[in-house]
Structure 1
């Protein structure tokens, strides 16, 4: 070690100082850049293309020196690239699984030959990803490419997939989306950010050299994230997946709303993660982990240190010792220095104590690693951390307080727990609302581990078998339907149309029946006090009156559902199964009443209505049987330790039901949601609401907890707006107009919601499919009769299900060391 020739081993272990860093060289990468005249073009159809009259974007290193420039693609380039990708898809998907796997494995050898160039270029561009990590990714996904038809049967690739990342996204996050898409047989268009542009172009060149068909992998560089929206406009694009910071992800979602292209978002950059140290932890190891995680030169997440009060003095003492002599960390700009100074000044004004490696210089783009001891959870530098080597430190007394602090952030990407008490670690991990929990470690990543997040950390799963389904569709489904263009829509006025005239039901014996809605376990009228008439198709006499629900009814329903859902989720699978079996039995006992509610409008005969009731009862029994079949398990780790995957319910979800087969579609979605631990707010079909409202009698006779299932009738658009704007709802399944689909895509970004959006025509037929922020995975179709067909959706509304899941939005994996 530098300057430690006279130090003893005891001295070294007391200070735990690092050895000298190796002298880096970028000669090989510089030579590759010089070969391209330091002006990198687009990579289309297996070769570099540099169109004339294109603007360029410069990339500089940490010292401000120019590294290279990249071309800014325009619409014509996007069209050319899409044509190449379609041809590449035909060639790539036409190969056997074994042949595709061989191509990916050949790339491992190619990387071995060009390891130095890849490593140096990543260092120049500050796109952190080691060649060994890339090799691991290739080996993992090449095996999935070979086993796709064996282990994932009856599935087919989507087609052309666009992978879009932000400027601050790492190369690892980019490749974690590119490789599974290729392994499943798709062609890929990569839209890299500033730091990943040059490495992505180099890897594309190596891919083609390894035998990837021309056009199967293309790279389009641009000036900002809106190039991704330009790519989405091309009708040949089947799916878009985004990774990076949330701000750019929201821009992309809003820009593509209404285009009819599925888009998933993984905002893995800029999230706030908790580093929790209990008194039972190995303090030395925990402090060393804090130093490694919090004070990197370039970090993708912000850490908040939470320490148990009884261990605070020991942790602070160790931090002071370990931080002494640490070098200052470079900031991106002088503007970042202003933000850091403001955060430190605010912390000192609130009474925080500073622990610094050295005294900060008055100005400049360097700042010493700093711990802000005594931070409050509500402080702005905790809620909205600034860039720089700042680590807020908060204290807690009990395990419950630790969980509260860990869940305080709007993000839910990951957390790190340090304790020698395994029981404490497992209980805390299950209580934290984050996607990944590391025990006695941090930042553990591997392609076999499904990665995602709760809340504002996205709804898309990457890695593991769960992450493959976003790039596949069931073989039984038809080809993607024609794309659509965004409609002209005033988002502020959507769902605000005036309700129909208030109807005062006649109380005479011959008057149509008045139904009630179901909120918080009670049948009740709408808060508005209004009712709407239900008429047969084509108009005519009034058949019944149903409540005209609104925003207040949704608020009451969400409050009731959010209270009961945690307890329902903690119930044993067998207890949930018994409740569903009871619900199915109650539905069967009220067969005549339910059949009458289906046939009253004349769309079904009495025989067809009874048939639908029978199938609906069987469907609920199917979901009851499924309750204890959903389970996680142990995942293979390439290093010491263990990884566990635990499926979880999303929470409170909204269901806006379709017009066709109102009872069967309702129980299919209802059973899927509550079987997996969710609570629901259902909006019946505006045209055919009677079956759902009659089902309230079945719910009242069941033993489901009050508030678990809520049914609110009324204007579909108004209730859709109320659901979209409620922050507690985690997912929405929607059948409705094209305007409603577009509104949800545009609005459900803060916080992010999992959406399943179907646009249907006036006759109830589905004409287009939108999937915002995540995608459909597995569906099995059940033929009922010539005119009755319904989807069985295993694993619907589940976080982190197994390979049978339709929605694998988040898998909680944590490592026990």
Structure 2
């Protein structure tokens, strides 16, 4: 037709423009109208509209009001958690097969109402295709079927609180809710504004599929004000969070001291490297950049890293691909000022811009922009920007590219582009991130574990590995519920140790003075002070160093020098070192038994049993070094995937009073076997077995620095470990004040916490001599973090 402006397929192919998208709202608006435009809370299997509650409006991308949602009050929290406790009893009592059938039945409900769900997600700016939810339900319904047969010694927590921030996606929310339900828990969901509408619809579909009333409750309100109130309820056994780091830190501090374990998946706001090597298919790589970097709403900020030899080629292709692209609406009105400031700063530092058009003089939109030649220290690289900005950095060698990719404090994901499979696997192993996509990006499947490294989280979502955050060993006691104490966090661990004064005693009977162990050498504490070690009767047995912050610093410095090479050793080599440690302990059997007897008052026979069990534990974990490995999960997509457990790095261990040698050896062995370095704080009550063990370490072939032993006050050394940015995890046995301090402090820098409130020893430490399989599994999982590598094929 003359004058027609309709483009042919050939025209679109030549310009590589995307086709038109559907913007229908009919089905979603019909559902909202059926709810009278005012969605209530979802409690005990139905929508409720409590009287006298405040409401807030949910808006779309244009600022138009979609509906109102209720702001939950304290009474609603109590009602929903009580409903969850009743629902948990009914849900967990069902046969595994029945729970699996209900989850599978929900698949048909999601498919039947997929249009409504998809439209609600688009309206709320939280896109999540129904097919992704169907895959989640199908995958975890299988695990619901197999829970009792494959995880027989694990039990569900009970009622768990699932919290997400306002900028989190629906997929990230359901990646926690569905496995929690599959393992037999009940869930109280606190969605952000962007996920409230689809979360309420899914709750309705769950009940229609046969989920017992109360198993899934949804409370809407401001996340940071509502989540701590939910966590304070005594029926809540576990809290898991997904979203941005700022809200996660505030949630950790608000819930510190409640005795509720909390895990964070900091999936929003992370900076992720998009690395293009010279051996990449340039067209595919540039297409991947355009697809992922300039989405209207993305959870992570991409940093483009290009090898210098192909930099001009990539820049030229970017200019061609970006030509004709239109300005992208920003998510908030205030974002325009932040974007302008970031671009101006980058230009002042010498960056050049690639833009398809000039930015409008004002308004809430901005064109896709590549900032070429920025420095790694530029704020647009370090701090994620809200707009469609893509910093571009260059590197020379492959190793420099990996170093540049590890520059970010976040460790969420990375995308590698190369046709050299050897280079791809080497770079993937060297990147400190939880997920690596080779020649692809943003590929998600519930079979792949997503483990946040560095500041991107302290738990694992997805795969079999993601199930364990919603389970606990049947024989392992959880933290006791408590009320937070009025703890002065600034003064915790600052009390001075008791002074030792000369008593004028005969020098021949003067107690022995021990040294601590740092960097493979025995040394005094930096303070130069010592503390008394008392026998059961109260007499002074010996003196040990009074360690502190500087000693921890020295131990960590020694650890980070040796840990990377220790981690790279083959599992058989690490096993051989542990076997040599067991042999060295065998030779010191009598001395170790005598030390245990003198400290604890146990009989020599019992002390010998503890030494024998310690030798056995070392041999067990030496044997496990090359047995505990990852795998290749089966995915519905073409390609191959690897799931690999990796060492955490440097682990701080504050040891219990019970079984002072056996507990130390058990925890040391599992951490070292997996490639970690450890800084160990012996029991202040019974430090002598650990100090005697130093001679065992010195005669073994374990590299110096892999294990350090620092004695002193438990609170003082806990405070030093918590505030060291390099330490990745802390395993703690102590009082509730120490647990509260760690939960409050270890949200920034983020650390993995394994907390235990130890009781007064009444069984002689028998719990450590009979570790069940589920507890051994938990010990191993506390010592590793997971990495997934996705390699697509045609």
**Please, what TM-score do these two structures have when normalized by structure 2?**
0.97
* Residues 181, 187 of structure 1: 8 Å contact kept: yes
1:599-678 equivalent positions in 2, closer than 5 A: 599-678=597-676
Counterpart CA distance in 1 for 2:266 and 2:239 is 14
Q: Is 1:491 aligned to residue 489 of structure 2? A: yes
Q: 2:743 aligns with which of 742, 745, 750?
A: 745
Change (3 A) 1:129 1:602: closer
User: Which digits, 9 at most, give the CA deviation of each residue in 1:150-169, with x for residues without a partner?
Assistant: 22222221111110000001
Aligned partner of 1:581 among 561, 579, 602: 579
Residue in 1 aligned with 2:207?
208
- Divergent runs of 4+, >6 A: 2-8, 783-787
- Contact map agreement 1:672 1:796 (CA 8 A) in 2: no
The alpha-carbon deviation at position 811 of structure 1 amounts to 3.1
1:398-437 correspondence to structure 2 within 5 Å: 398-437=397-436
Contact 1:276 1:417 in 2 (8 A): yes
1:383-427: CA deviation from partner (whole Å, max 9, x where unpaired)? 112200000000000011101110100000000000000001000
Please tell me whether the aligned partners of residues 643 and 786 of structure 2 are also in contact (alpha carbons under 8 angstroms).
Answer: no
Summarize the Cα distance change of 1:765–1:71 in structure 2 as closer, same or farther, 3 Å threshold.
farther
Using the TM superposition, give the Cα deviation of residue 105 of structure 1 relative to its aligned residue in structure 2, in angstroms.
1.1
Paired residues of 1:662 and 1:688 also in contact (CA < 8 A): yes
Instruction: Give the SS at the match of 1:733.
Output: strand
Q: In the TM superposition, what whole-angstrom CA distance separates every residue of 1:221-259 from its partner, at most 9, and x where no partner exists?
A: 112323111100000011111001011111111000000
Residue 6 of structure 1 deviates from its aligned partner by 7.4
Matches of 1:371 and 1:765, distance apart in 2: 65
Check the 8 A contact 1:450/1:813 in 2, yes or no.
no
Tell me how far apart the structure 2 counterparts of residues 417 and 14 of structure 1 sit (CA, whole Å).
27
SS in structure 1 of the partner of residue 582 of structure 2: helix
Residue matched to 2:264: 265
Match of 2:197 in 1: 198
- In the TM superposition, residue 438 of structure 1 has moved relative to its aligned partner by 0.3
Say which SS state the counterpart of residue 334 (structure 2) adopts.
helix
Partner of 1:813: 789
Q: For 1:3 and 1:264, locate their aligned partners in 2 and report how far apart those are by CA, in whole Å.
A: 58
Q: What is the aligned partner in structure 1 of residue 216 from structure 2?
A: 217
Q: How many residue pairs align between the two structures?
A: 789
1:347, 1:90 → 2: CA distance?
Answer: 57
Shifted more, 455-464 versus 634-643: the winner is 634-643
Cα distance, 1:453 vs. partner? 1.5
Structure 1 residues 751-762: aligned runs within 5 Å? 751-761=749-759
Residue of structure 2 in register with 1:301 after alignment: 300
Cα deviation 1:721-763 (Å, max 9, x = unaligned): 11000011000111111111100000001121111111124x3
Structure 1 segment 34-433 matched on structure 2, within 5 A: 34-433=33-432
| 1:13 CA displacement | 5.0
SS at match of 2:728: strand
3-state DSSP of counterpart to 1:569: helix
**C-alpha deviation, 1:785, in angstroms:** 6.2
Write the distance in 2 (CA, Å) between the matches of 1:329 and 1:197: 25
Q: Find the counterpart in structure 2 of residue 508 from structure 1.
A: 507
Using the alignment, how far apart are the partners of 1:725 and 1:274 within structure 2?
A: 28
Whether contact under 8 Å (1:325, 1:357) holds in the other structure is yes
SS state of the match for residue 638, structure 1?
Answer: coil
3-state SS, counterpart of residue 573 of structure 2 = helix
Name the structure 2 match of 1:469.
Answer: 468
2:726 aligns with 728
Question: What does residue 568 of structure 2 align with?
Answer: 570
Task: Write out per-residue CA displacement over residues 23-57 of structure 1, whole angstroms, 9 at most, x where no aligned residue.
Answer: 31111111111111111110000011111111111
Q: Which residue does 2:17 correspond to in 1?
A: 17
User: What TM-score, normalized by structure 1, do the two folds share?
Assistant: 0.94
RMSD of aligned C-alpha atoms?
Answer: 1.9
For residue 811 of structure 1, give the secondary structure of its aligned residue in structure 2.
strand
> How far is 1:794 from its partner?
3.5
Distance 2:611 2:317 in 1: 67
Q: Per-residue displacement from partner, 1:446-474 (whole Å, max 9, x unpaired)?
A: 11110121110001101000001111122
Offset at 1:180? 0.4
CA contact (8 A) 1:435 1:810 kept: yes
- Residues 647, 783 of structure 2: 8 Å contact kept: no
Task: Tell me the secondary structure at the aligned position of residue 647 of structure 1.
Answer: strand
CA deviations 1:346-391 (Å, max 9, x no partner) are 1111111100011111111010000000011000111112200000
Q: Does the 8 Å CA contact 1:565/1:677 hold for their aligned counterparts?
A: yes
Cα distance in 2, alignment partners of residues 785 and 322 from structure 1 = 67
Q: Does the CA-based 8 Å contact 2:414-2:435 persist in structure 1?
A: yes
Partner in structure 2 of residue 774 of structure 1: none
The farther-off stretch of 117-126 and 670-679 is 117-126
Distance 1:651 1:690, change over 3 A: same
Offset at residue 812 of structure 1 (A): 3.1
Residue 802 (structure 1) aligns with: none
CA distance in 1, matches of 2:329, 2:436: 29
**Deviation of the 1:507 alpha carbon:** 8.3
**C-alpha deviation, 1:806, in angstroms:** 4.8
CA deviation after TM superposition for structure 1 residue 175, in Å: 0.6
Measure the CA separation in 1 of the matches of 2:648 and 2:772. Answer: 21
Distance 1:808 1:83, change over 3 A: farther
Counterpart residue number, 1:775: none
CA distance in 1, matches of 2:495, 2:566: 37
Structure 2: tracts of 5 or more residues without a match:
none
Measured in 1, the distance between the counterparts of 2:462 and 2:364 equals 36
Residue 459 of structure 1: SS of its match in structure 2? Answer: coil
Distance in 2 between residues matched to 1:589 and 1:754, nearest whole Å: 35
Deviation at 1:482, TM superposition (A): 4.4
534, 554, 558: which is aligned to 2:556?
558
**Matched position secondary structure for 2:636:** coil
CA distance 1:185–1:808, shift in 2 (3 Å): farther
Residues 703-722 of structure 1: pairs in structure 2 closer than 5 A: 703-722=701-720
8 Å CA contact 2:91–2:185 kept in 1: the answer is yes
Q: Secondary structure at the match of 1:107?
A: helix
Do the aligned residues in 1 keep the contact of 2:599 with 2:688 (CA within 8 Å)? Answer: no
2:103 partner SS? helix
CA contact (8 A) 1:104 1:142 kept: yes
Q: Tell me if the contact between 1:460 and 1:808 (Cα under 8 Å) persists in the aligned partners.
A: no
CA–CA separation in structure 1 for the residues paired with 2:281 and 2:165: 37
Query: Per-residue deviation at 1:287?
Result: 0.4
Provide closer, same or farther for how the CA distance between residues 809 and 311 of structure 1 changes in structure 2, counting only shifts above 3 A.
same
Farther-moved stretch of structure 1 (305-314 vs 31-40): 31-40
Given the superposition, is the C-alpha separation of residues 638 and 503 from structure 1 closer, same or farther in structure 2, using an over 3 Å criterion?
A: farther
Q: How far does the alpha carbon of each residue in 1:328-363 deviate from its partner, in whole angstroms, 9 at most, with x for none?
A: 111123311001001111111111110001111111
CA distance in 1, matches of 2:767, 2:82: 39
Tell me the CA shift for residue 305 of structure 1: 0.2
